[in-house]
């Protein structure tokens, strides 16, 4: 009888299991029909940092997945679904266009392409993509906002006093536009 699990004739005592390991497909990382992922810089890969890249702890919350609770011991958090949590002392958080994070975060770097609601403290660079929306208490070291990205709430540069937006600015986009109150009758002179 010649089955995939039988030992070949002529090699008695040889286990078939090692040959089956090569037949097991590896885990596929890319999901068909999903938008391309942006990879947030970790500051660890290819450098001589304190944590080698092989020891980096990464959590990916995929589309249509919801997670709630407290997240500890996570170097990189990628949110494509929904997360309601408290994340402390991580290195990088990336919220994809489809992602929603509700809660509080203290992190080194952040790349926001989806929605964030709550308290966010970014010791390094907070990057808000054109599809990114942040509502809440925002603290950052440096800020990069693409045209169309939105920030609403209390905004504070680390080490400085908070900047409280006016009610009109509370939901305004980052793109520059003329104030609505000045449009009535000012164009003709």
Mean pLDDT of the chain: 74
Q: Which residues are bridge partners to 177 per DSSP?
A: none
Task: Give the per-residue pLDDT at 42.
Answer: 45
Q: Which residue has the higher pLDDT, 106 or 179?
A: 106
Cβ atoms within 10 A of the Cβ of 43, count? 15
Secondary structure (3-state) at 17: helix
Confidence of residue 72 (pLDDT cuts 50, 70, 90): confident
The per-residue pLDDT for 2 is 55
Q: What token pair was written down for 94?
A: 């990336």
Percent of the chain residues topping a pLDDT of 90: 49
**pTM over cut 0.75:** no
pLDDT tens figures, 93-147: 999 999 999 999 999 999 999 999 999 999 999 999 999 999 999 999 999 999 9
Instruction: Classify burial at 30, counting beta carbons within 10 Å of its beta carbon; exposed 0-12, middle 13-18, buried 19 or more.
Output: exposed
Q: What is the pLDDT of residue 43?
A: 46
């Amino acid at each position: 009888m010649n089955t995939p699990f039988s030992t070949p004739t002529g090699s008695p005592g040889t286990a078939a299991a090692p040959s089956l390991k090569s037949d097991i497909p590896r885990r596929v990382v890319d999901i068909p029909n999903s938008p391309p992922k942006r990879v947030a810089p970790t500051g660890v890969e290819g450098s001589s940092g304190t944590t080698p890249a092989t020891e980096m702890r990464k959590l990916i919350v995929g589309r249509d997945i919801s997670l709630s609770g407290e997240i500890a011991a996570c170097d990189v958090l990628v949110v494509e679904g929904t997360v309601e949590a408290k994340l402390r002392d991580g290195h990088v958080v990336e919220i994809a266009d489809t992602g929603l994070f509700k809660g509080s975060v203290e992190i080194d770097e952040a790349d926001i392409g989806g929605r964030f609601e709550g308290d966010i403290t970014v010791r390094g660079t907070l990057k808000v993509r054109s599809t990114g929306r942040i509502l809440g208490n925002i603290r950052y070291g440096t800020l990069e906002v693409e045209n169309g990205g939105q920030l609403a709430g209390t905004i504070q540069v680390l080490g400085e006093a908070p900047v409280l937006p006016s009610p009109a600015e509370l939901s305004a986009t980052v793109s520059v536009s003329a104030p609505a109150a000045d449009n009535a009758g000012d164009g003709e002179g």
